[in-house]
Amino acid sequence: MDFKYETARLISESCGVEISEILGAIEIPKADMGDYAFPCFRLAKVFRKAPPLIAAEIAGNIKLSEHIERFEVVGGYINFFVNKTSFARNIIDNILEKGGEYVKTDIGGGRTVCIDYSSPNIAKPFHIGHLRSTVIGNSLYRIYDAMGYKPFGINHLGDWGTQFGKLICAYKRWGKKEDIEEKGISELTRLYVKFHTEAENEPSLNDEARAYLVKMQNGDEDAISLWKWFVDISMKEFERVYNMLDIKFDAYTGESFYNDMMPAVVEEIKRKGILKESDGAQVVDLEEYNMPPCLILRRDGGTLYPTRDITAALYRKKTYDFVKCLYVTAIDQKLHFAQWFKVLELMGYDWAAEELVHIPFGLVNLGAEGKLSTRSGHVVLMEDVLREAVDKTEKIIDEKNPELENKREIAAQVGIGAVIFDDMFNSRIKNIAFDWNKILNFEGETGPYVQYTHARACSVIRKAGLESAPKNADYGLVSDKSSLALIKALGELPAKVIEAGEKFEPFIISRQLIEICQSFNRFYRDNSVLGSEGEVRKARLALVYAAKTAIKEGLYLLGIKAPERM
C-alpha cells in the first residue's frame, strides 16, 4: 500500500481532479498535524472559491478507507491521519520480506545510463581533488542501478596530450628507469614539476615537448613505448586507491581510445558547415548562444578536449544507446561542457540537449593545505588521506573498544566511509571544508554515527538471538510516537532514492539516513527492546531488523560499508 497514493485517491474521488495532480501537491506536515496534508490553494483557480471553502467541500465528500483512519480541515489544508497498524505493517513487512531490495524500483526499465566519473590524469598523482568525482559518480551508479536502469561506469582517463610530451622530454633529460620503477607516480610527478621549473629558464623545452607529442601522434615506437609504460605504472597506483574505495568501472576508455575516430568527427563538423578558421585554429562560433568559440583544432592541427569529448559522446551513443550520459566533474568545467554539448546539437544530434548532463560539484577546501597544483608539486594524495583516515579511526577504536576483533578492517570501513559520507552530506554544488575532527566524529551528522547506529541495531539482534527477521508481529504494539517516526522515516527511503537519482544528488540519501538513525536512537531510548516480552518484544525486534536493513542499504547506495560491530 502506497499511503500517499491512497490519500491522493480519496481526494481525487471527492473532487474530480486527476490523481497525478493531487499527488504532486501532497505535503508531509509536522507529526502532530497528521501524516499527509493537501493544500487546497492550487485549486482556487479551478473552483473559483477560497481555499478554506474548497477544503471543507472536499472533506464533505471524502469516504475513508481502512488505511486512512481520519482527517481534519485546518484552514485551506486537509490533514490526513493513517491507520497506524496498517501503516506499520505495510512498511515493516515490506522491508523484512524484500530486504535491501525494498528501495528498488523498475523506473529505468533496463535502459542504459552512462556515467563518466573519476577520470584522473595518467602520470599525475591521484589526489584529494579527485575524491568528489569518484565517490559522487560511484553513488550515482548505485542509485541508478536501484532505479532499474543499466548503469555503465566509464573512467575517461587523461591519457593523451601535451603533458606526455613534457614527461618524455623530462625523462630523457633527467629521469632514470630504476627510479620510476621504484617510486612510481611520485617520480613521474617530480619529473613533471622539474620540467616546468626548467622551462621557465629554458623556453625551448616546450618546443621539444611538442615535438615528442607529435612523435606520439605519428606512432613513433620509442615515444609510444614510454607512453604505455607511464600508463601501466599509473594504473597500478590508481587501482590500489579504487580497491580501498571499493569502486570498479565498466570501461577504462581514456582520451587515447578515441584518437583514430577524431579525424572523421572533425570532417563531419566541417561537412555540417559550422567549422570556421580563427587565427589559424578551427573553431565553432557560439556567439549566438552567448558563449566563446569552441576550439576543435589547434593551429598545428592538434585536437583539443572538446574534439575528444564530442567523439567520445558519439561513440557512447552508438555503442551503448544511452538514455542519459552523465559527466561528473568540477563546476569550473561548466562552460566547457555547455560549449561542446551545443556543438553536438548544431551537428544535428538532437539527443544531446536532453541526454547529455553535466553533474557539477564544488571544490574540496583543504584550509592550510591551499590549492592543489601538480605543476608546482603541491598535492595531497588521495591514498594518504584514506590511510590517515583508517589510522585515526583505529586509534579511536583502541580508546573506545580495544577488544574489538578485526580492528584494522573495521577501521578501514569506518575511516574511509567517514570521508565518503562527509563528501556527500551536502548538495554536491557546495564546497567542502575538509576537517578531520568533524569527519571522524561518532556523534552528530556523520558517517561514523550512521555506521554506529547500524552496529547498535546488529548488536540488539545478536543479543536477542535472532537468526532471521521476526514474522507475523502485531504492529499495533509499535504505535507510539517514536516508533511511528522511525517507521515513517524507513518508509520514505525508496522515494528519496528516486529523488536522489532524478536530481543527481546523493546527499538526499545521506540526509534521510541521518533522519532514520536519529529516529532509531529515539525509538531505542523510549522503548525497551531486549527488556520487553512476548508480542511487544517481537514487534520491536521486527522494527529494529527493518531499521538495520534500511541503514545498510542506504550506506551501500553511498558507497559505504556497514560494519556489524564497532
Give the active site residues: 124, 127, 130
- Residue closest to 278 by CA, chosen among 293, 268, 289, 260: 293
Q: HEC string of 271-286?
A: HCCCEEEECCEEEECC
Tell me the three cell numbers of residue 447.
558517517
- Residue 103 grid coordinates: 528501495
- Type and span of the H or E element at 154: strand 150-154
Distance CA 55, CA 443 (A): 44
Residue 377 DSSP class: T
The edge-to-edge listing of strands for the beta sheet with 112-116 is 150-154, 112-116, 324-330, 356-361
CB hemisphere CA count around 154 (13 angstroms):
26
From the list 14, 43, 41, 38, the residue with the least C-alpha distance to 25 is 38
Number of other CB atoms surrounding residue 531 within 10 Å? 8
Q: Which of 67, 31, 4 is nearest to 522 (CA)?
A: 31
C-alpha distances in Å from residue 534, one per residue of 457, 470, 526, 538, 539:
19, 12, 18, 6, 9
Residue in this structure with the C-alpha cell 559520507, named with its chain if needed: 421
- Integer Cα distance of 549 and 283 in angstroms: 54
CA distances from residue 141 to 105, 308, 330, 370 in whole angstroms, order as listed = 15, 23, 18, 31
Residue 369 near residue 385, CB atoms below 8 Å: no
Dmax over Cα atoms in the chain, in whole Å?
87
Cell numbers representing residue 261 in the block? 575516430
Give CA angle at 406 (405, 411), nearest 5°: 115
Ramachandran assignment for 444, one of left (phi > 0), alpha (psi -120 to 50 degrees), beta (any other): left
CB count in 10 Å sphere of residue 18: 10
Q: Which three cell numbers stand for residue 166?
A: 613534457
As beta bridge partners, residue 173 has none
H or E segment at 82?
A: strand 77-82
Angle between helices 3-15 and 51-61 (to 10 degrees): 100
Q: What are the cell numbers at 124?
A: 599525475
In angstroms, the Cα distances linking 245 to 56, 58, 382, 401, 467 are 55, 53, 10, 24, 30
Alpha helices in 19-83 (DSSP H): 19-23, 44-47, 51-61
Reference 13, options 74, 69, 59, 52; nearest CA is 59
